Structures are given as C-alpha cells and as structure tokens.
Structure 1
C-alpha cells in the first residue's frame, strides 16, 4: 500500500472521523440493524450475504433486516445507504462497480464514494473467459487467432461497465483483437445462450458455469487468478499463458454511511471480521470465492486504487453506457 496516494486513502477514511460525538457503548445497538443489499435474490452471493447477516445477528443480539434494493447497477441501494442516518443501524453491501466504476460512467450519480465508510471486504473473485463449442481454436492462443480472423466476434457479459466488461476491454487492449460487446441482464441468461450455441464467448463468474463444466457445450480458456484454482486445476490462468496484466479480481464488501461514529465503526469491523471467518459463512463460499475479511484501511486503499485504475481504463477505452 506504500505506493497508493495518501490523500485518496485519507479521503475515504476521513468522513468517519470528522466532528462525530463519541458513541455510548451501552446504547448501541438499541434496535434492528438494516443491511441494504443491491441485488435480486437467488444467487450464491445472496446466500453468503444472508449468512453474514445471520451470524452478525448472533454476535450483536439484535435482528439484521435484509433490505434488497436491486436495480440501476447498484445505484438504488447505494443512494438509499448514503441517505441513511449515520448511527450504526444501517449497513450496505457494496461491489467494485458501485464504488469504483459507476462514478466514472454516470455523470449524475446521486452518491459519491466518499459517502461511505469502508468496513471490510467480504469476498473477492476472479473471472473466466469461455468459448462456445461452435467457436474453433481450442486453447486460448488458438482462440485468439480465431478472433483475429473474425473481427467483431461477440462476447457476452452481464452488462456495460461490469467487471467482466472491463476485463474484456483490458483483454482487447493487450491482444489487439476487436470484439463486439453483447450485454445481458444477468449471467444465467448468458449461460442459456452459451449452452444453446448462440453466444460465441462469455466472460464472467466461474460459479455461473460450474454446474455445466462437464457438459461439453463450452471450454473455459483462462481464469484471472495469479495461478490455478485448487478447485479447478484444469483451468489455466491468464498469467501462465503470458498475460499477467489480466490477473484481476472483483470484490464485494460492507460499508456504513459516512459520519458513523468511530467507536461504532471499530465495533462493526470487529464483529464482521469474526463473522466472515466463521464456519457458517465460509461454508457458503463457492468454488471461486475468496471469503476473507480485511482491515478498514486495507479496504479503503483497495477502493482508492480501483477508483483510479478503472477511471483510467474507462477513459482510455472510451467506455460509455450507450
């Protein structure tokens, strides 16, 4: 973290420290705590988040109300959190996109990254690139050669500005291929099309593909980890295939509204750190989830780094919502 801009890091942590009266330990929590969640139900991430909420309930002794606010790329949930009272009774589940990508894509965003006090990362995950059975090429090198022969070949992701979209922009910049982005409204929809042979390329979560890995309908070309995953040893990493700059992970984390009293932030972090490492939460981890907490400072540094890096990528590649 020594190479990170100190002002950026301080800016993320400062809102939690300015002009806030000391919290009375005996008065908190004195009612249910709300966890604002930015997605619809039914995903492995939701199962993980609900387990975190349940274990936090046991640790704090008050109900944790799971408040799902999906839509608009996480903006609805983030705005609701930013407008919540900074009293330790509202938390938010956030993502790479909500805090570090949306600010560069939406000119009239109703929240700022500085509106939130970082607590901890909940998990990090890599992305995979997969090719449908109808696309020739075999391994990654052969498939890249096929991409060069067919400029404009389509790749599917879960939407414009998502982590897979950004990774594929990096992939195109490194390989020099020209691909067409095909955004969907969710990875399960892409999987259906991939299995049917109607989508030539997919970039997204390995967890989405996991139930169909042995179907023969697609081949996983590479994963964005630094080395092979122990649970998927047959999938090579981009790094070992000569593309170390594509070693990349998205993240999910938890934050509080800026201005939440410092003693409450310390206590929330202490509780969440233990909760994330608990056996029930670890048992919810999918094949490609690294469920591991961080310090508040580490999370703030990660946000600052990614906010800068993705801003540069979006500008250099001319990524827009249209």
Structure 2
C-alpha cells in the first residue's frame, strides 16, 4: 500500500506539472489579448522614454496589440520599479529600465524591493554611450593632457546627475582606474548639471547629455565611454583606443517583467524583440535616439546583469557615499 500511495502521488504530481505547462503554453498562445503597459521609471522626455516609445511601436506592430508607455519617475527609478514589481505577473505590465536600478542603486541605499529578484529580464535593447566632455575654456585638447593634469592636481570639479547616479559612480570608477582626482558636484538631474558645465561653473561631465553639446561645439569631447566611436564625432577615441582598460564602457537599457511572469510570455516578448532588431529600419530608429542597439535574449541578459551588479557592488563598497 505504501508503494501504491507513492505511485499515486507521483502520478498526481506529474499530471499537475503537465497541466501547468499546458496552461502556460495556452496563455502564451493567446498573449497579448489586451493593452500592454511599458512603465518607464524616469520622467518623460529622456532617452529611456524615447527608447520605450520606439519599442512599444515595434511590438504593437509585431504582436498585434496596443503597447503603451507610462512614466512613473522618482527615487532614481525605484518608484516605477516597485510599482511594476507589485503588478500582476501576466505580461501586461512591463518596465523599460536602465542599469542604475539593478547594478548601482541596491549597493548605494536601501530599496523597497530588490530589483534583481522582484523583476525578471525580458531582453536587453540598447547600450548608452557616454562622453567625457570639458568646458572649452580649459586647455586640454586630448585625453592624455587631461589625464596628466588630474593625476597631478585635484583642482578640477565634475558634475553628475546626483549622488549614487550612474554618471557619479562611473566617474569615480574612471578616476580610480587612472589614478586621478576631481571634486564631485552633484545635481538633481542631468540637465541642471549640464547647464552649469555649459556656463563654465563646472569643468567636466561624463554623460550622454553632453554629446549634442560637443557636436555643436559648446563643449570639448575627450574620450568615448563606449565600444565604438560616435558616428557624428569620429575623431574622439574610445576608452580602449586611449589605452584605458578595466573601466565600464557604457550603460544599458532593457525590458523587464514582474517576477513569476510565465517564461513562455517572457520568451515570446524576447523573440519578438529579436525579430524587430533584424529590421535595419527599426535598428536605425533606435540609433537615432543616441543609443547603440544591442539585443540580448533574456537568459544571456540575466547573466550580464548579475555580472554587472557584482562588479559595481565591489567598487561601490570602497567608496564613502553619503546621500
């Protein structure tokens, strides 16, 4: 009788798993049946917002449902992140977020939820290339002259979009690797920081928002934080070309879903984005937003996120950050 009871239990368990798999497949086959929201945990008008709207348009066409963008900015992205993490895990509430939420914020301050466990990756969609720019009144014509100065003196200052922001941590990472010093001046956002750099009140900034200003001649670009030179600024070398290795080259942007979202839905979304990126016109529309299209399916993306978080976590632990 004991043997029979185990056999019956085993059969019941097998039947339950089979039914669950069939249910998941059925859900995926009918998904999406209604409007899908892509929450952007930053204010409207930024790069992530623009990427989300481009992606929403592509997915609407590809999957035959309405994908809309909803901005829920605040707390460096954690308000929107917390909201999505608490949404139903049915694929109808997604998030388009950047690396700061997953790789930096959890190591800088306590967060209401742990993004690494509260959300699951769907796909990486872009890399954000940054540029180290200086005010044109400064005498540095190339990165070597700039490095020589900050390695000998600490009289320059740099602006960032806030304490614990990606530009802040990235600049400190850069200074640590090159053996240089600058004074940090944090701002409540990238635009206020940029305005003071343009006005000459602050000397240096590493960010995406400086790129148009360098193109216009308002600032001088010295080195690209990215794997390739910028198409509109082909004379500015990358970190690697300048002989600077071991420094994170860029940030990333990706699509996420609440934890426990059926893997069939995650895979369906990931596959749809992969197909979008096979279209050169769609890739060009992403490139025109000032980011580099870079697709990774959800499993590969998950490993990249964990590696990224570990690297930044180990470095941030060496800093004295006071919010």
Deviation of the 1:220 alpha carbon: 0.7
Q: Does 1:38 align with 2:41?
A: yes
Alignment of 1:123-202 (within 5 A): 123-202=126-205
Query: Residues 277, 38 of structure 1: CA spacing in aligned structure 2 closer, same or farther, 3 A cutoff?
Result: farther
Contact 2:48 2:97 in 1 (8 A): no
Q: Is the 8 A contact 2:159 2:197 kept in 1?
A: no
Root-mean-square deviation (CA, aligned residues, Å) is 2.2
| Residues 78 and 111, structure 2, Cα contact 8 Å, conserved in 1 | no
Partner of 2:309: 307
Residue 285 of structure 2 corresponds to 283
Deviation at 1:204, TM superposition (A): 0.5
When structure 1 is superposed on structure 2, of 283-292 and 64-73 the one drifting more is 283-292
Structure 1 distance, partners of 2:276, 2:123, is 11
The whole-number CA distance in structure 2 between the counterparts of 1:131 and 1:241 is: 17
Measured after TM superposition, the shift of residue 311 of structure 1 is 0.3
Instruction: From the superposition, tell whether residues 321 and 111 of structure 1 become closer, same or farther in structure 2 (CA, over 3 Å).
Output: same
Residues 226 and 32 of structure 1: CA distance in aligned 2, closer, same or farther (over 3 Å): closer
Please report how far the alpha carbon of residue 36 of structure 1 lies from its aligned counterpart in structure 2 after TM superposition. 0.9
- Contact 1:96 1:252 (8 Å CA) reproduced: yes
Note the alpha carbon deviations across 1:130-170, whole angstroms, 9 max, x for none.
Answer: 11123233322222233345425210111222222222112
- Of the three residues 91, 95, 111, the one matched with 1:92 is 95
- The worse-fitting range, judged by mean Cα deviation, of 305-314 and 196-205 is 196-205
Q: Note the residue ranges of structure 1 that are not aligned, 5 or more in a row.
A: 1-18
1:211 to 1:228, Cα distance in 2 relative to 1, 3 A:
closer
Q: TM-score, normalised by structure 1?
A: 0.86
Partner of 2:206: 203
Paired residue secondary structure (2:39): strand
Q: Is the 8 A contact 1:277 1:292 kept in 2?
A: no
User: For the structure 1 residues 282 and 49, does the alpha-carbon distance in structure 2 shift closer, same or farther, using more than 3 Å as the test?
Assistant: farther
Are the equivalent residues in 2 in contact too, given 1:276–1:282 (CA < 8 A)? Answer: no
Asked if structure 2 preserves the Cα contact closer than 8 Å seen for 1:195 and 1:218, the reply is yes
SS at match of 1:244: coil
1:29-108 aligned at under 5 Å gives the runs 29-108=32-111
- What's the CA shift for 1:79? 0.3
Tell me by how many angstroms 1:277 deviates: 4.3
Taking the aligned partners of 1:170 and 1:44, their CA distance within structure 2 comes to 23
Q: Which has the higher contact order (CA 8 A, sep 6+)?
A: 1
2-side partners of 1:77 and 1:321: how far apart?
23
Output the CA distance in 1 between the equivalents of 2:29 and 2:301: 28
